[in-house]
Each structure stands twice: as structure tokens, then as C-alpha cells.
Chains A and B, each alone.
Chain A
């Protein structure tokens, strides 16, 4: 594409179908304890 560069795989929808195993870290257990960012958590699969 000339006008657009896409940075990633955009797999959020696919992840809904295959996700939900619940093994990943609870987000508050990381470095914050006061402010929640979930998108920096790692998938365990």
C-alpha cells in the first residue's frame, strides 16, 4: 500500500475464539498495584 503501513497482525478476533484459558498473569500482580494496563501482559499459550 502507498498510503498505509499496517504495524501488526490484528489478531484480536481470532484470539477471542481460541483464548480464555486463564493461565496468564492477573494484571494487578505486575508492577502497578494502582493502575491497570492489560495490553502489556503476555499470553501463556
Chain B
């Protein structure tokens, strides 16, 4: 299967099953259109010379010599298995089914000091009442991870909420407990934290920069955009409070030897800021160079919701952002936009790409009550509860269900060109908005595909830049 598209003057061909990306000229682009069916599958036999009916069509625009040259190159790529290469991945679909649980989202506080209007966590309590995780339950969560991670060395633990800084003493205690077990269990804990920043102070910044391998700092961009949707409990905007704190944290990040340096400022865009590239650049103007701004995911009836109607405008905005990022790179002022990051050579293996996020299988969420859910977005859906850290229990039937939710188990994904890049999308979104973990949430799919097209185009443009 191939996917071909034109963007920003580049004609790009992705060979889905080898992962090859080809930049082609017009004659090859037109030839491939004639060789492929509507799903991008080869519809004719690749004979040593170009089939007559295809040649006849191309002769309207190209010379015989051009067509022969182009066909010869396409044939060479086909024979080299980097064009229309075979889909032989289904045999691997059951690998990693009995995966250890090695990543955890620890809900350190089901409470929050902001009242973000698009919050999927019901303003922090996930519909289950305002609660803080106790140090005792936090330590049991670590024991749970140590037990079920089996032979995996690298363990991930994200402190999440609600707002985790509202219970920071417990964060510290859990980190210290986990560190005390690393040697004995031969594990390497990678801690991350996702915060709204309101309660950041020097002590917390120091601890985060020393212990957290990544920190996600929530902010939506321009002041008026951020404050409209991210007010405090008293209704006042959060921008003025958080920006100087984020700047301080980032300025100090990676400064001391051994400290971590990765971070993201992370925003959400909604129907109210479809010109979100302005928010991305605003965040860069504030001094941040690791930026993620993502579409809100919500029911269609929400007044800020992104619906099918908004898609053309958002596609246009992603293209604008991609072109501006290329320009900035040329000028030496480039920065990283999370959703355009793509590694065409050293990215994850095909096995990893079969089931993406790993929720409910190698990744779980734990609530302040110690309940285990497939991921943070499932928290509060009682039917999906799959264990408890209190008695170290796991519902393996549920775990198996998620383990098997790979791209070949999802009808829409099987034949999608983007399957090895998004790996079947977000299972929670699929359930909430498409009605089934194994069905695709169409809007998320369309946005993901557009971002991938832009990300690959940026690679093509940067390759040109390297040659200059």
C-alpha cells in the first residue's frame, strides 16, 4: 500500500509497509496514481515494461523516454520492496500480548485549583469526589509496578491529577520510596509530572528538575486564549501566575550536572482558537522551545468542540504552522513542535507500532483509592476498573482485551496508511466517541493524518536544506 500526496511543492509517496518515504517528480506521481487503486494498492502487474494502457494515458503529458525512465525507477523500487511492499505484519499481532505492566499514571490528587472548561476529569475529581492519594497507597502503587513489570528495566511513572502539586509531599515520598527500590529490583524509574503550574515554587522546581525526566507544563498560549478556558476557582485567569513560574523552571532545567532537561509546554486548542499557530509562536516568544498544542477531545455538543466542520480550517492552520517552522529552521530560530516530531529512521520498531499507547496492557492508571484503570481517561468508568494496588490484583481478562487491541484488530486501521504512525489511536477516545475501543474516532484520525502529512513534508524540506 502507498499513500501519495502533494504539499508545499513536494510530491510525497509513503510506502506503508516498508516505511520508505520517496519524494517524486510529476511524471512518477502521475504514474503511481495510474498504478494504484483508491486504497493505494497496486492494481496491475509490475511487468518489465510499462503496461500499454497506462503508457497511453501518460503520453498525453509526457514523452516516451520520460515515461520509460520513470517506470524503470518505479519498478526498481518495487523490486527492492520499498514501493507497494507486502503487508506481512499480522503474524506479529499477538507478540507482546502477555506484556509486563511497566508504565503508570498515578493520580496523586483528584482535586484541582483551576476550573478549565474543557477538563475531561470533571474539574479534577473524575466524578468521584475530591481526594488526595495517601503516601501509603502511593507506595503500594510502586509495589504493584515492581511486581507486574517483571523483567522490564525501564519503568515510567507520571504524577497526574487533578493537580499533582496539591499533594507534593506525597509525590516526594513516592519518588524516594521508588528510588530506594531501584537497586534491589534492578529497575530504572523515569518519573514525569503534568502540572498547571499554579503552586510551583523554588523547592518544587528544584525537586522536579532533579527527579522528573520530563515535565509537562499546561498553558494554552496567548493570555486571552489561556484565560478564557483555564480560569482559577475564583474565575480569574491563570496566565499571569504561571508564565513566570514556567520560565523559571525551564531556565533552571538541565542546569545542574545530572539534572534532566526534557520538558513540554502543552496547550489545548478548541473551536475558539483555530488560529492556534499563533499560540504556538506565542509560547516560543515566551522563551519555550519544546511545545505541544493539541486539539481538544470532547463530545460534539460542547460549545468549544472541534467537529467535522472545523477540519478544513485546522488543516490549513497545520500547513501554515509547518511552513513557518521550516522558515524558522532556515533562519536558525527553529523549535520543536511535539506533533510534528517524527523519526523516519530510528523510530519505534514495527512491534511497538502495532498497538501504540499500551493502555490496559503495559500502561495503567491508579486513583487515590488505589483502583487500577486501563488509563487516566478510563478513570471513573466503573465497568473498566481492572484491579487494585491495595491487594495487588489485576483483572487479566481485561488486560488481555487491551493487549489484543492492535491495528489488525481494528477494521478501520487495517487498511489505513497511517496505521504504523498512530498505531490505532487513543482507545479511550475510541470508546467514548466512537462507541468501541476497536472503532476509530474519525475526527482524531483525520487530524492525526494531517499532522503526519505535515511532519513528513517538513522532513523533505529539511533534507533540501541540508543539501543547500
List chain A positions with a Cβ less than 8 A from chain B: 1-13, 15-16, 18-20, 22-44
Contacts and interface: CB of A to CB of B under 8 A. Distances in A.
Interface of B: 15, 17-25, 27-28, 69-70, 73-74, 76-77, 81-82, 85, 88-89, 92, 95-96, 99-100, 102-103, 105, 120, 152-154, 156, 158, 160, 190, 192, 194, 214, 216, 264, 266, 268, 290, 292, 294-295, 297, 338-339, 341-353, 356-359, 362-363, 375-377, 420-426, 429, 444, 447-448, 451-452, 459-460, 463
A34 B426 contact: yes
14 contacts: A13-B85, A16-B351, A22-B102, A23-B152, A23-B154, A27-B423, A29-B103, A29-B158, A31-B266, A35-B425, A37-B342, A39-B347, A42-B346, A43-B348
Contacts of A15: 348-351
A9 B459 CA distance: 14
A37 B421 contact: yes
B348 A22 contact: no
Contacts of A9: 344-345
A8 B345 contact: yes
A28 B22 contact: no
A43 B88 CA distance: 21
Given A38-B421, A38-B423, A6 B20 contact: yes
Contacts of A34: 120, 268, 294, 297, 377, 426, 429
Contacts of B363: 26, 28-29
Contacts of B376: 33
A41 B102 CA distance: 16
B396 to A, nearest CB: 17
Given A22-B102, A22-B152, A28 B357 contact: yes
A43 B347 contact: yes
A16 B19 contact: no
Which of A7, A39, A44 counts the most B-chain CB atoms under 10 A from its CB?
A: A39
B344 A20 contact: no
Contacts of A41: 343, 347-348, 352
Contacts, number: 214
Given A38-B357, A38-B422, 17 more contacts: A3-B69, A5-B23, A10-B19, A10-B21, A12-B17, A12-B350, A15-B351, A22-B352, A22-B362, A24-B352, A25-B103, A29-B103, A31-B290, A31-B292, A35-B448, A36-B426, A39-B422
Contacts of A30: 214, 264, 338
Question: Mostly helix, strand, loop or mixed at chain B's interface?
Answer: mixed
B28 A4 contact: yes
Contacts of A6: 20-23, 77, 82
The 6 residue pairs across chains A and B that have the minimum distance between CB atoms: A19-B349, A12-B19, A10-B20, A20-B351, A26-B103, A16-B350
Given A26-B357, A37-B339, A13 B18 contact: yes
Contact of A35 (B74, B152, B352, B447): B447
B421 A39 contact: yes
Given A3-B70, A4-B22, A35-B297, A19 B351 contact: yes
Question: Mostly helix, strand, loop or mixed at chain A's interface?
Answer: loop
Nearest to A2: B69
Contacts of B19: 8, 10-12
A23 B22 CA distance: 30
A39 B343 contact: yes
Given A35-B444, A37-B422, A3 B214 contact: no
Given A31-B338, A34-B297, A11 B351 contact: no
Contact of A3 (B25, B341, B345, B359): B25
Contacts of B290: 31
Contacts of B20: 6, 8, 10
Contacts of B160: 33
Contacts of B375: 28
Nearest to B153: A23
A34 B447 CA distance: 13
Contact of B463 (A7, A13, A33): A7
Contacts of A27: 356-358, 423
Nearest to A40: B341
Contacts of B447: 35
B261 to A, nearest CB: 14
A34 B463 CA distance: 31
A18 B425 CA distance: 24
B156 A26 contact: yes
A2 B24 CA distance: 9
B101 to A, nearest CB: 10
Contacts of B349: 15-16, 18-20, 43
A27 B348 CA distance: 10
